[in-house]
Chains A and B, each alone.
Chain A
Amino acid sequence: MGVVERHHVRIAGQGEPAMLFAHGFGCDQNMWRFVAPAFEQDYRTVLFDHVGHGASDRSAFSRSRYSSLDGYARDVLDICHELGLRDAVFVGHSVSAMIGVLAAIREPALFSRLVLIGPSPRYTNDGDYVGGFEQRDIEELLDVLDDNYLGWSANMAPVIMGNAERPDLGRELTESFCRTDPDIARHFARVTFLSDNRADLPKVRTPALVLQCSNDVIAPLEVGSYVHRHMPGSKLAVMKATGHCPNLSAPEETIALMRAFLAGRGAAGGDDAA
């Protein structure tokens, strides 16, 4: 199976360069539905699912390849090579922001700009560093995943529906947005929330925009400014949007800030890194 099928790659729009959108933990490429179309006029938009998410090929999952974010970064590079992308704009949400950082360090020529939405180089606290979480919280998160039908749906939905004669009812549950394979989701949660990529930030040479939400528990303001301070030439924009998914809750604001950054007008309300 090729890279395109493996990641359920979807291409739309016209123009160069390409704009590659990478979804975060808990979702699939559907989460770009309010943002990506706005760029189809000027860019070739490329959407994909991480392995184990959405309509990707689950059989491509391997614990060793995906034992760290590096494996996911290699997938991003695979997609770029397969589609012959160069100077692409990489847009990564949540954990995929760091995945994009790793990909851009490995092969800088492939990327012209990075848009990092709610990035965090480390989610757990460490000495003076405030990531926002304790290791214990992450272990408990795995229980919450187990508790939820989203995590269980692939196996449990037909059982929960208790209606084998009407499999369409079961499908309604499993074929919603953000389908994830429960086991892979557990694995991805662990790899994501126990990652530490602080040392990678200074290695980035690609101009980057950090989009920081107000009141984001997953990636608090301290974390966003940490990323900005440690990534040379990056810009930070603190958004009015709250929560962790401005691409869904505040698409207009997200699009406007991205446009300003891509037009070289800096980050509205933001400032340049020293």
Chain B
Amino acid sequence: MTLPNAIPEESAEELYENAPCGYLSTLPDGTIVRANATFLSWTGHGRGEVLQRTFQEFLTVPGKIYYETHYAPLLAMQGFVREIAFDLVRKDGSRLPVLVNTAQRRDADGRHLLSRTTLFDATERHRYERELLQARRRAEEAVKIKDELIAMIGHDIRNPLASLVSGLRLLERQGLSPEQARYVELMKATTGYVTTLTGNILDMSRLEAGAMTIESAPFGLRDTLGAIVRGLEAQAFERGLRLSLRIDPAIPERLAGDRVKLGQVLVNLLGNALKFTERGGVELEALLTERRGALASVRFSVTDTGIGIASDRLAHVFEDYWQAGGEGGFARGGTGLGLAISRRLVELLGSRIEVASTPGQGSVFSFTLGLRVEDGQP
């Protein structure tokens, strides 16, 4: 690189005085013995008003505390400080946020003679950092409020709900008229719905907090799946839908895994499928895809003939509070948390839920779990 022939002249003194940052030389106690013109113009003070006063005098009261408790000790110990944020108080009382760097100048015996300080105008950076900080505070506050709400759901809603459910069970046995029985049925359905909803919210918060753990115990897959399907038969019957179960005969009788979480996911998927299917049916299938030693890979799939999901929305179905039909919101019941919870539970079980769908024809939700074979077969 070649320099231009005529470099504009500039003395070191000119550079010092008019550099785009403030320069100060101070004695060890902070007394200013030299200040450049930039510092003077920033603070609005004349040179005579600055020299022989201490740097601390140009700080706010809390700035003075910070100077004595952080800046001065750090400078004394390490010989320099970097990027300390202070507010300078101008002559008119207004404040200028600055970032301060200081290095000590020592004599041959290591004695601290002077400090050299540069000050950078940090107005913009300061504003930005304050915004970030406030955003963080608001986020922390929001998390706190959410945690309190979750705790409230856990205690103040679930407990009275439980007494409501048992009250309804007792009422049912009182020899009700058909009309009364219908009202009780309605109340049971509603309390059941609220119970599921609060359960989902609690599950979601436990999952988010990483407080959900995996249990592994032996169980019979056929019994488990049979019970799940039987539990949903009434719902399918009411909606005039076929509900079927297919289990690959090659699947070993006893497996080990987290039966409860598997059940939760399948109930969620089947419940969803029933909710979004108008005619036809829903099928749960378990297929042995691989058997290696004592490990069996079982693919679970829930297939429906429902409304389906458009391809551009397929990627979003596992997001929190998402529901088919978009703006329809809560019209079909549920919190929109079911799939999000299922996805996280399956991830916790070490797999992923996949979805394939054709609008108007139906959807398939599936995942494959590795389960330990318990029946002693090699």
Are chains A and B native binding partners rather than an unrelated pairing?
yes
Q: Mark B350-364, 1 if CB is under 8 A from A, else 0.
A: 000000000000000
Among B29, B74, B85, which residue has its beta carbon within 8 angstroms of that of A178?
B74
A144: which of B73, B74, B85, B133 is its contact (CB, 8 Å)?
A: B85
Of A33, A149, A243, the most chain B CB neighbours within 10 A belong to A243
Tell me the chain A residues, 21-48 only, with Cβ under 8 Å from chain B.
24-27, 30-31, 33
Q: In the complex, which residues of chain B have a beta carbon less than 8 angstroms from the beta carbon of A146?
A: 133
Please report which residues of chain A, range 150-189, place their CB below 8 angstroms from some CB of chain B when the two chains form the complex: 150, 173, 176-178
Kindly report which residue of chain B lies nearest to residue A151, judged by CB atoms. Answer: B70
- CA–CA, A141 and B77, complex, Å: 23
Q: Tell me if A143 and B73 are in contact (CB < 8 A).
A: no
A218 at the B interface (CB under 8 A) = yes
Partner of A177, one of B61, B78, B133: B78
A24 with B78: CB separation less than 8 A: no
User: Does B76 lie within 8 Å of A245, measured CB to CB?
Assistant: yes
Contact with B65, one of A141, A149, A243 (Cβ below 8 angstroms): A141
> Which B residues from 60 to 78 make CB contacts under 8 A with A?
60-66, 68-70, 72-74, 76-78
Q: Which residues of B contact A248 (CB under 8 A)?
A: 72-73, 76-77
By beta carbon, the residue of chain A nearest B133 is A146
Instruction: Identify the closest chain B residue to A241 (Cβ).
Output: B29
Rounded to whole angstroms, the CA-CA distance of A243 and B61 in the bound complex is 14
- Closest CB-CB distance, B370 to chain A, in whole Å? 35
Shortest beta-carbon distance, A122 to chain B, in Å? 15
The answer to whether residues A244 and B69 also contact, given A141-B62, A176-B78, A217-B64 and a CB cut-off of 8 A, is yes
A191 touches B (CB below 8 Å): no
Considering the complex, give the chain B residue whose CB is closest to the CB of A219.
Answer: B68
Contact A243 B66 (CB under 8 A): no
Question: How far is it, in angstroms, between the C-alpha of A138 and the C-alpha of B64 when the chains are bound?
Answer: 11
Chain B, interface residues (CB within 8 Å), range:
20 to 34
Question: Does B65 contact A150, Cβ atoms closer than 8 Å?
Answer: no
**Interface residues of B: mostly helix, strand, loop or mixed?**
helix
Contacts of B73 in A (CB 8 A): 26-27, 31, 177-178, 245, 248
| In the complex with contacts A148-B66, A245-B76, A133-B61 CB distance below 8 A | yes
**Quick one: which of A30, A141, A249 contacts B66, CB cutoff 8 A?**
A141
Q: Are B133 and A30 in contact (CB under 8 A)?
A: no
Question: Chain A, 236-254, contact with B by CB distance < 8 Å: what is the 0/1 string?
Answer: 0000001111001100000
Interface residues of B in 22-66 (CB under 8 A from A): 28-30, 56, 60-66
Q: Is the CB of A137 within 8 A of B61?
A: yes
Cα distance A151–B359 when bound, in Å?
55
For residues 94 through 150 of chain A, which have their beta carbon under 8 Å from a beta carbon of chain B?
A: 94, 133-134, 137-138, 140-141, 143-150
Q: How far is it, in angstroms, between the C-alpha of A1 and the C-alpha of B82 when the chains are bound?
A: 34
Q: Is B223 an interface residue (CB 8 A)?
A: no
Contacts of A148 in B (CB 8 A): 66, 70, 84-85
With A26-B69, A147-B85, A248-B72 as contacts: A33 and B28 at CB distance below 8 Å: no
Do B70 and A150 touch (CB < 8 A)? yes
Bound-complex Cα distance A137 to B61 (A): 6
Q: Is B131 an interface residue, CB under 8 A from the partner? A: no
Does B147 have its Cβ within 8 Å of any Cβ on chain A?
A: no
Closest partner residue, chain B, to A193 (CB atom): B65
Chain B residues whose C-beta falls within 8 Å of the C-beta of A173 in the assembled complex:
82
Q: Assess whether A147 is in contact with B129, with CB atoms less than 8 Å apart.
A: yes
Per-residue contact bits, chain B 1-34, to A (CB 8 Å; 1 contact, 0 not) = 0000000000000000000000000001110000
Q: Which residues of B contact A243 (CB under 8 A)?
A: 29-30, 68, 72
Does B83 reach chain A (CB closer than 8 Å)? yes
The distance in angstroms between the C-alpha atoms of A192 and B63, with both chains bound, is: 16
Is the C-beta of B126 less than 8 angstroms from some C-beta in chain A? yes
Give the interface centre of B60, B65, B126, B130 by most chain A CB atoms within 10 Å. Answer: B65
Q: Tell which of A26, A33, A140, A193 touches B70, judged by Cβ atoms closer than 8 Å.
A: A26
Interface residues of A in 202-236 (CB under 8 A from B): 215-218
Please, which residue of chain A has its CB at the minimum distance from the CB of B86? A144
- CB–CB A245/B62 < 8 A: no
Q: Which residue of B lies closest to A251 (CB)?
A: B76
Q: How far is the CA of A242 from the CA of B63 in the complex (A)?
A: 17
The answer to whether B62 and A140 have CB atoms under 8 Å apart is yes
Q: Is the CB of B72 within 8 A of A249?
A: yes
Residues from chain A with Cβ under 8 Å of B97 in the complex = 147
Known: A25-B69, A178-B70. A140 touches B28 (CB 8 A): no
State the Cβ distance, A259 to closest chain B Cβ, in Å. Answer: 21
CA distance A65 to B60 in the complex (A): 32
B107 to chain A, nearest CB (A): 16
What is the minimal beta-carbon distance from B82 to any residue of chain A, in angstroms?
A: 8
- Picked from B29, B69, B129, B130, the residue with its CB within 8 Å of the CB of A94 is B69
Cβ A31 vs Cβ B77 within 8 A:
yes
Bound together, the chains give a CA A178 to CA B69 distance in angstroms of 10
Q: Least Cβ distance of B305 to chain A in Å? A: 50
Query: In this complex, what residue of A is CB-closest to B134?
Result: A146
Q: Which residue of A lies closest to B129 (CB)?
A: A147
Compute how far the CA of A153 lies from the CA of B156 in the bound complex, rounded to whole angstroms: 41
18 further contact pairs, Cβ within 8 A, besides A217-B68, A243-B68, A249-B29 = A26-B66, A26-B70, A133-B61, A140-B60, A143-B62, A144-B85, A147-B129, A149-B82, A150-B84, A173-B82, A176-B78, A177-B78, A178-B73, A218-B69, A244-B68, A245-B76, A248-B72, A248-B76
Interface CB pairs A-B, < 8 A, 11: A27-B70, A140-B61, A140-B62, A144-B85, A147-B126, A149-B84, A215-B29, A218-B68, A245-B72, A249-B28, A249-B72
Counting from the closest, the 10 A-B pairs by CB-CB distance are A26-B69, A141-B62, A248-B76, A147-B85, A244-B68, A140-B62, A137-B61, A26-B70, A242-B29, A144-B62
